[in-house]
Amino acid sequence: MKIKETDVAIIGAGSAGLSAACQAAAAGARVLVIDENHLPGGQLFKQIHKFFGSRAHQAGTRGYVIGQQLLDRVEKSGAEVWLDTVVYGMQKDCTLGVVHEDEHWHVIAKKVIVATGAKENYMAFPGSTLPGVMGAGAAQTMINVNRVLPGERILMLGSGNVGLIVSYQLMQAGADVVALVEGAPFIGGYGVHAGKIRRAGVPIFVGHTIKEVTGKDKVEQVTIVAVDSKWQHIPGSEKTFDVDTVCLAVGLNPMTELVWMTGCEFTFIPAFGGHVPMHDRNMETTVKGLYVAGDVTGVEEASSAMEEGNLAGVAAAEALGYLGAEEAAEKKKEIWGRLETLRSGMFGEKRRTAKQSQIERMEAFEAGAACGQKGAAV
Amino acid sequence: MRKGRVACIECVQEIPCNPCEGICRFGSITVGEQITALPVLHEDSCTGCGLCVANCPGLAIVILDKSYSETEGTVDFPFEYLPLPAEGDEVDAVSRGGEVVCRGTVLKVTRVKSYAGTAVIRLKVPLEYVDEVRSIARLPRPRQ
């Protein structure tokens, strides 16, 4: 077993982790970023569409270009990046158990930032285990990273931005999307994304779900059915499509396993995808020195993840004395301003209030802990 | 539109986004400090240059021109599918819902670096369809 000591260890080299690395390393901290994938960038390199947001936020720039810019900044910052490296566990003192280049390492860092992102939800229905049923994110990785078309006739379930964007990108890659199906009575994602696939002639069935997928050894047909206000199937409303692929874009949940291992306090926020670690306005959790950033703190989107990463990086650097209180406060104020903007409008409001309550629960917990009433605040 | 080329912004939800405001050289689009506000077009100063068409991440802006001829107008729209049509091609023009509404003639296909991969197609259609046509049907891919 080998030992690696560093100032800041960051788990996850995606939007949040790389942003945190830039901030902490730029301030002068020794930074190690660890990722289990063989390429850094997380989900950014799958995003071939132009991002929304403000011009200050590189809006209008395609995701993979933002990823490349971020990587260049990390390289210049002096942060070390370990790829193909698995963090299999974290002790209560935040020592990391790591397998790197076939060797077992203990990584001991003064501050740890967990930026592990989220994973796709799955949905079970008859035939859901047939080859050809896959997560929309998986299909997106196939077309945009590995350049493999998963199928030629695809049905997409879920009309959030993931379902809408991946449908569009599947058509750009040469597939036909025969239908987009949404259980709720309305389209979940941005109207402009829906507009793109409507112009391409894709029918959108709201208030419908998948009844079953059939086929010998692989997906051959999918039957959808209308649902009532209690999500019960309405008999007689079935429609069947010949398809070779069914994609599920039914939400994501935060990848929190490592954070749980430390004994960190969690709180349940459905709008964020389930149980999420409590954290303060510095992204620090109830475990001192353990920070979280990005989708692991609650599923949002890439721009917010980058800003949370910036925040955690600045806060960790400040806590280590690499940034003065005044300088850090200035940076954090700017970042929070940008986060407020990203969490505004008809789509952002729910995330803004969810994040607010996550931080308030942390404050209540801390206050309770100070009075010796651990856990009473949730 | 009768006077000439002018932008038409079909951005109807308050999402945090403002590249259109910055890209316009004529100050003809304003969003303001609160970037979830809807963009406002100032038609009088809009020259129909089309920079916003390729730079709107939502692909929600088109340029309309009802002055092209007595009976024809043009629609400039963003297009991100391959293959691209060639200038002079007769193609199926589609509505916002993807229905073929008429045939159109491709007058111009613009692909420049600053458009970052988005092509802008100028399509000539019968005048009465200018308000309806928003794209063209995807063209078949050559079999590999």
Indicate whether A269 and A358 sit together in one domain. Answer: yes
Is A52 close to B15, i.e. CB distance below 8 A? Answer: yes
The stretch B99-123 carries a mean pLDDT of: 97
The stretch B114-141 carries a mean pLDDT of: 96
What whole-number distance in Å separates Cα of residue A105 and Cα of residue A127?
Answer: 42
Residue B144, pLDDT > 90, answer no
- A105 three-class SS: strand
In degrees and rounded to multiples of 5, residue A330 shows phi and psi of -60, -50
- Asked if residue A270 belongs to a domain, the reply is yes
Query: Which residue type does A168 have?
Result: Y
User: Buried b vs exposed e over A46-71: b needs ≥16 C-beta within 10 Å?
Assistant: bbbbbbbbbbebbbbbbbbbbbeebb
- Asked if residue A158 belongs to a domain, the reply is yes
The answer, for B113 touching chain A at a CB cutoff of 8 Å, is no
pLDDT for the residue numbered A376: 46
> Of the candidates A229, A248, A267, which is a domain's last residue?
A248
- A375 three-class SS: coil
Indicate whether A194 and A156 sit together in one domain. Answer: yes
Indicate whether A357 and A320 sit together in one domain. Answer: yes
- Asked if residue A13 belongs to a domain, the reply is yes
Q: Say which residue, A2 or B142, is predicted with more confidence.
A: A2
Q: Residue A225 belongs to a domain with what CATH number?
A: 3.50.50.60
User: Buried b vs exposed e over A276-307: b needs ≥16 C-beta within 10 Å?
Assistant: bbbbbebbbbbbebbbbbbbbbbbbbbbbbbb
Q: Which residues of B touch A201 (CB under 8 A)?
A: 94, 97-99, 137
The answer, for B98 touching chain A at a CB cutoff of 8 Å, is yes
Indicate whether A188 and A88 sit together in one domain. Answer: no
User: What number of CA atoms fall less than 13 Å from residue A359's CA on the CB side?
Assistant: 10
Query: Which CA distances in Å does B70 have to A121, A224, A299, B19, B90?
Result: 55, 48, 53, 35, 20
Q: Which residues of A touch B116 (CB under 8 A)?
A: 50, 60-62, 65
Indicate whether A52 and A76 sit together in one domain. Answer: yes
Indicate whether A272 and A186 sit together in one domain. Answer: no
- Asked if residue A219 belongs to a domain, the reply is yes
Indicate whether A196 and A295 sit together in one domain. Answer: no
Indicate whether A130 and A235 sit together in one domain. Answer: yes
What whole-number distance in Å separates Cα of residue A266 and Cα of residue A275?
Answer: 6
Spans of all domains in chain B: 6-136
Q: List the structure tokens of A115.
A: 């930026």
- Strand-pairing partners, residue B8, are B62
> Of the candidates A224, A248, A272, which is a domain's last residue?
A248
Q: Which residues of B touch A193 (CB under 8 A)?
A: 58
Please give the interface size between A and B, counted as residue pairs whose CB atoms are below 8 Å apart: 103
Q: Which residues of B touch A164 (CB under 8 A)?
A: none
Residues B22-56 pLDDT 10s: 999 999 999 998 888 999 999 999 999 999 999 99
Is B13 close to A348, i.e. CB distance below 8 A? Answer: no
Residues A224-252 pLDDT 10s: 999 999 999 999 999 999 999 999 999 99
Is B81 close to A345, i.e. CB distance below 8 A? Answer: no
pLDDT for the residue numbered A371: 79
- A355 three-class SS: helix
Against a cut of 0.90, is the pTM above it?
yes
pLDDT for the residue numbered A378: 43
Is B138 close to A341, i.e. CB distance below 8 A? Answer: no
Indicate whether A126 and A114 sit together in one domain. Answer: no
Is A196 close to B59, i.e. CB distance below 8 A? Answer: yes
The stretch B137-142 carries a mean pLDDT of: 92
- A158 three-class SS: coil
Is A199 close to B135, i.e. CB distance below 8 A? Answer: yes
- Asked if residue A375 belongs to a domain, the reply is no
> Which range marks the domain in which residue A274 is found?
2-119+252-370
In the DSSP assignment, the letter for residue B83 is: S
Specify the number of domains making up chain A: 2
Indicate whether A218 and A268 sit together in one domain. Answer: no
Q: List the structure tokens of A94.
A: 């935040």
What whole-number distance in Å separates Cα of residue B85 and Cα of residue A144?
Answer: 23
Per-residue pLDDT of chain A (378 residues; tens, 9 = 90+): 999 999 999 999 999 999 999 999 999 999 999 999 988 999 999 999 999 888 777 788 999 999 999 999 999 999 999 999 999 999 999 999 999 999 999 999 999 999 999 999 999 999 999 999 999 999 999 999 999 999 999 999 999 999 999 999 999 999 999 999 999 999 999 999 999 999 999 999 999 999 999 999 999 999 999 999 999 999 999 999 999 999 999 999 999 999 999 999 999 999 999 999 999 999 999 999 999 999 999 999 999 999 999 999 999 999 999 999 999 999 999 999 999 988 988 889 999 999 999 999 999 999 998 776 554 444
- Asked if residue A109 belongs to a domain, the reply is yes
What number of H helices and E strands is found in chain A? 9, 19
The dihedral over CA atoms of B105, B111, B115, B120, expressed in degrees to the nearest 10, equals: 0
The stretch B123-136 carries a mean pLDDT of: 98
> Of the candidates A248, A275, A301, which is a domain's last residue?
A248
Indicate whether A76 and A136 sit together in one domain. Answer: no
What whole-number distance in Å separates Cα of residue A368 and Cα of residue A267?
Answer: 15
pLDDT for the residue numbered B34: 86
- Asked if residue A377 belongs to a domain, the reply is no
pLDDT for the residue numbered B33: 87
The stretch B50-63 carries a mean pLDDT of: 96
Is B97 close to A346, i.e. CB distance below 8 A? Answer: no
